């Protein structure tokens, strides 16, 4: 019997080679991925709910949705699992499951042979195709559409999905194929024919998941997927400046590297990690939890005995208001609209939808992280008296919420929320955001 989504998330490892590798890649997408383990913890992270009864209701609804054959959640998890299982050529479970210690793989290199460039290219292309299909399943798109996926990848692919695509570029692209991996892939694609791909073990493992009646049709779809995301991959490399050497160096901070032959390193990681399955489960869990949470709210179910609706805007804002929301990871404000409001233990929270992003990014945020936008009386720097801002504290290395009281050129007198008046101070322009 297949495991439930709750079991899958609860059983995710907190620390193994896969987790170490993904953490090492944080330098490419800083703060994007958090290794959320445990279904209730994941619910709390994405909904802000902590009441045990509320967690149970969301968990039960999510488990039910996951088993619904008309939904794409279980199918997406199956795709992520299939691509990793098909890509593992040797058993290294004992090594992969070692936790909390530096890992040396020198003794394993003699048992691992790097893939030929053509085989590596096919594997990378198939992973992209699987990502496109899984995305469409999760978003209710009847037919896999590479261009819709590419648009979403550019605009709003975040969290586990983002680090998964970063790992794809680094582990399956740059390390084994080199800095000009995109050019090399193009050259290899020109010489690939249905006969080449039919014998690939990864293709054999997932070919039934690809659209098309013949191997040629399926190969055509795979090429379409690559063409759709090639621009994003090229932009990622250009913007971050990542190289095979920089990836290797950052991996060395988490795993003891005993060899600097990068194609051998790539082969080792390919065969000892399951980053597609690991982050794929997390992606499905996030979407599933948000959908379950929204469906319960749409039915008018009270999710917590301590919650009360505040639709009339008794707090600082009302439903429908355009606002700006502080993103702690990006350290910047993003345009959003308030969709729901709730009060919990006299604390107001807002459920916001980010302008230009998909509904999967909707989330509950604290009132201190929300401010009004489009101020008519703003100064030349875009600030106004009464405006909520974030002030940087060099000593604490942290942003604090405050309101502007007075403006004198590029100097701003601020009052910190929840602090006494004697904490008020003048700060420079470069200290606020």
Backbone angles phi, psi at 265, to 5 degrees: -60, -45
Judged against a pLDDT cut of 90, whether residue 378 lies above it is answered with no
The predicted structure's pLDDT at residue 251: 86
**pLDDT tens sequence across 139-180:** 888 899 999 999 888 877 788 999 999 999 999 999 889 999
As a dihedral over the C-alpha atoms of residue 231, residue 233, residue 239, residue 241, rounded to 10 degrees, the angle is -140
Mean pLDDT value across residues 323-343? 87
- The mean per-residue pLDDT over the stretch 223-252 comes to 93
Residue 112, classed as helix, strand or coil, is coil
pLDDT of residue 377: 79
State the pTM of this model: 0.69
Q: For 68-117, how does the pLDDT look when each residue is reduced to its tens digit (9 = 90+)?
A: 988 999 999 999 998 887 765 433 333 333 333 334 444 444 444 556 78
48 Cβ contact partners less than 8 Å away, ≥ 6 residues apart = 349, 363, 364
d(CA 390, CA 266): 42
- Residues 302 and 46 sit within 8 Å (Cβ to Cβ): no
DSSP result, 330-373 = TTEEEEEEEEEEEEETTEEEEEEEETTS-GGG-EEEEGGGEEE-
Query: At residue 259, does pLDDT exceed 90?
Result: no
- Write the CB contacts of 346 (distance below 8 Å, at least 6 apart in sequence): none
Query: Are the CB atoms for 163 and 18 separated by under 8 Å?
Result: no
Closest CA to 414 of 423, 422, 425: 425
Report, as an integer, the average pLDDT of 227-244.
95
Q: What mean pLDDT is predicted for residues 327-344?
A: 85
Given a contact cutoff of 8 angstroms between Cβ atoms, the answer to whether 85 and 93 are in contact is: no
Q: Retrieve residue 361's tokens.
A: 């990014």
In the structure encoding, which two tokens stand for residue 412, read together?
Answer: 């701003």
Q: Residue 274 in contact with residue 292, Cβ under 8 Å?
A: no
Secondary structure (3-state) at 426: strand
pLDDT for res 225: 96
Rounded Cα distance between 165 and 131, Å, is 9
Whole-number percent of the chain with pLDDT over 90:
45
Q: Are 238 and 232 in contact (CB under 8 A)?
A: no
Q: How far apart are the first and last CA of the chain?
A: 52
Mean pLDDT of the chain: 83
Task: Output the six-digit token pair for 194.
Answer: 């249905």
For position 145, what pLDDT does the model report?
94
Return all residues near 374 (Cβ < 8 A) that are at least 6 apart: 322
* Pairing verdict, β 363-366 and 388-393: unpaired
Instruction: Locate all alpha helices (DSSP H) within 68-211, ordered by sequence.
Output: 73-87, 93-96, 117-138, 146-156, 159-169, 175-177, 181-191, 194-198, 201-206
Q: Give the least confident one: 13-22, 121-130, 149-158, 232-241.
A: 149-158
Confidence of residue 314 (pLDDT cuts 50, 70, 90): low
**Which of 133, 48, 79, 106 shows the shortest CA–CA distance to 304?**
48
What element of type H or E holds 61? helix 52-67
The confidence band for 421, taking pLDDT boundaries of 50, 70 and 90, is confident
> CB neighbours (10 Å) of residue 212?
13
Query: How many angstroms separate the CA atoms of 17 and 95, rounded?
Result: 8
Most confident segment among 253-262, 274-283, 358-367, 412-421: 274-283
Cα dist from 347 to 286, 338, 352, 371, whole Å: 25, 16, 16, 16
Burial, 358: exposed, middle or buried (Cβ in 10 Å; 0-12, 13-18, 19+)? middle
List, in order, residues 6 or more apart from 186 with CB less than 8 Å away.
Answer: none
Residue 281 contacts residue 37 (beta carbons within 8 Å)? no
Check if the beta carbon of residue 413 is closer than 8 Å to that of residue 405.
Answer: yes
When mean pLDDT is compared over 162-176, 291-305, 365-379, 385-399, the highest value belongs to 162-176
pLDDT of res. 311: 46
């Amino acid at each position: 019997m297949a495991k439930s989504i709750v079991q899958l998330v609860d059983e995710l490892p907190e620390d193994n080679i896969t987790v170490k590798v993904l953490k090492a890649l944080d330098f490419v997408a800083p703060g994007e991925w958090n290794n959320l383990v445990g279904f209730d913890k994941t619910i709390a992270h994405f909904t802000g709910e902590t009441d045990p009864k509320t967690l149970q209701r969301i968990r039960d609804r999510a488990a039910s949705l996951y088993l619904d054959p008309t939904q794409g959640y279980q199918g997406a998890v199956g795709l992520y699992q299939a691509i990793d299982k098909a890509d593992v050529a040797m058993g290294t479970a004992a090594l992969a499951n070692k936790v909390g210690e530096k890992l040396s793989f020198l003794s394993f290199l003699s048992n691992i042979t790097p893939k030929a460039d053509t085989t590596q290219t096919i594997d990378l292309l198939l992973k992209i195709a699987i990502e496109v299909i899984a995305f469409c399943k999760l978003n209710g798109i009847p037919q896999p559409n590479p261009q819709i996926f590419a648009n979403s990848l550019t605009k709003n692919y975040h969290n586990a999905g983002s680090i998964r695509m970063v790992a794809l570029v680094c582990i399956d692209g740059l390390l084994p194929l080199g800095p000009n991996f995109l050019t090399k892939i193009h050259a290899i694609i020109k010489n690939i024919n249905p006969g080449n791909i039919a014998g690939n073990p990864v293709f054999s493992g997932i070919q039934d998941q690809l659209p098309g009646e013949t191997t040629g049709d399926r190969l055509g779809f795979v090429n379409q997927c690559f063409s759709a995301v090639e621009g994003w991959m090229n932009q990622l490399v250009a913007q971050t400046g990542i190289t095979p050497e920089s990836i290797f160096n950052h991996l060395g901070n988490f795993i003891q590297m005993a060899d600097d032959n990068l194609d051998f390193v790539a082969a080792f990681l390919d065969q000892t990690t399951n980053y597609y399955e690991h982050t794929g489960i997390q992606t499905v869990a996030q979407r599933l939890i948000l959908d379950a949470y929204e469906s319960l709210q749409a039915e008018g179910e009270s999710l917590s005995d301590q919650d009360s609706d505040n639709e009339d805007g008794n707090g600082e804002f009302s439903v429908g208001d355009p606002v700006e929301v502080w993103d702690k990871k990006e350290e910047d404000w993003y345009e959003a609209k308030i969709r729901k409001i709730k009060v919990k233990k006299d604390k107001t929270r807002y459920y916001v939808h980010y302008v230009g992003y998909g509904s999967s990014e909707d989330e509950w945020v604290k009132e201190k992280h929300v401010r009004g936008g489009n101020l008519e009386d703003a100064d030349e720097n875009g600030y106004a008296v009464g405006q909520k801002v974030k002030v940087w504290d060099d000593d604490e290395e942290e942003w604090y919420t405050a309101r502007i009281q007075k403006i004198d050129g590029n100097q701003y007198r601020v009052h910190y929320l929840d602090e006494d008046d004697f904490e008020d101070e003048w700060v420079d322009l470069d200290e606020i955001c």
